[in-house]
Amino acid sequence: MAEEVKMFGFWASPFSYRVELALNLKGIRYEFIEENLQNKSRSFLNYNPITKKIPVIVHNEKSIVESLVILEYIDETWKDIPLLPQDPHKRALARFWANFIDDKIMKSAHRIATSSGKEREDAIEENVENLKLLEKELAGKDFFGGNSIGYIDIAASVIAIWFEVGQEVSGIHWFTQDEHPTLWKWKTKFEQDEVVKQCCPPKYKLVEFRKMLTASGSAPK
């Protein structure tokens, strides 16, 4: 019986990208359904009535929501090319850093984009420090996952791709080669990966989209 995997996503969403990247790294075939975030489809809302957010994957008619939860589900269901380490302590660290990226790094980046004055300055300072903390976890490896892309790398894809977009549009540069040389090196290597490039939307389109959101006064996700 062929497994049916559907994915509801949005081309410009870093959370959606995480899931696509994971599916592609594992070589899993799936149907991608682009959701109009201003006008969500009934079938999408049926699959995720609780948070009503993308990404959602549907596997054999069962839905899974929340990008990091989806990543773990994918890793447990398709065991080739593991994304999470086997060792329990390393797994715990992977979960810890992925949560840190979401709870701290993404939130302060969002504040940089949506605030001004002192609040923005504080958010920039916080984000610079948070990126330095994350950077230490690389500890001389090519990727957080070692020689290949793993769970933390996928979670951190927002930093590699979307931060540059945000910096270009806002003119504020907080993630730089000077401040974060190790993380910058990781970003460069990450972006050159064939699978990463394959499912990544073109940067110019992301920039255009962010400019449009900024102009319309909508806060970027």
Partner 1 sequence: MADEVKLYSLSGSPFVCRAKIALNIKGIEYENMEETFGNFSADLLKYNPVYKKVPVLVHNGKAICESLVIVEYIDDVWKAVPLLPQDPHEKAIARFCAKFIDDKFIPTAFKVFGSHGDEQVIAEACEQLQLIENELKNKGTKFFGGDNINLVDLSADFIAYWLGIIEEATDIKFFTKEKFPKLTEWAYNFVECEFVKGVLPPRAPLVEFFKKRFGN
Which residues of the chain form contacts with partner 1 (CB under 8 A)? 50, 59, 62, 64-66, 68-70, 72-73, 76-77, 88-89, 91-93, 95-96, 99-100, 103, 133
Q: DSSP per residue over 193-214, as a string? A: -HHHHHHSPPHHHHHHHHHHHH
Determine if the peptide bond prior to 202 is cis (ω within 30°).
Answer: no
Shortest Å, Cβ 61 to partner 1: 10
Nearer to partner 1, 14 or 169 (CB): 14
Smallest distance, partner 1 to C-beta of residue 81, A:
16
Question: Would you say 133 or 212 has its CB closer to partner 1?
Answer: 133
Burial 20-59 (b: 16+ CB within 10 A, else e): bbbbbbbebebebbebeeeeeeeebeebbeeeebbbbbbb
Rounded to the nearest 5°, which phi and psi values hold at 27?
A: 70, 30
Residue 59 CB, nearest approach to partner 1 (Å):
7
Instruction: Tell me whether residue 95 or residue 120 sits nearer to partner 1 (CB atom).
Output: 95
Which is nearer to partner 1, 103 or 125 (by Cβ)? 103
Smallest gap from residue 193 Cβ to partner 1 (A): 26
What span, in angstroms and rounded, lies between the C-alpha atoms of 184 and 48? Answer: 36
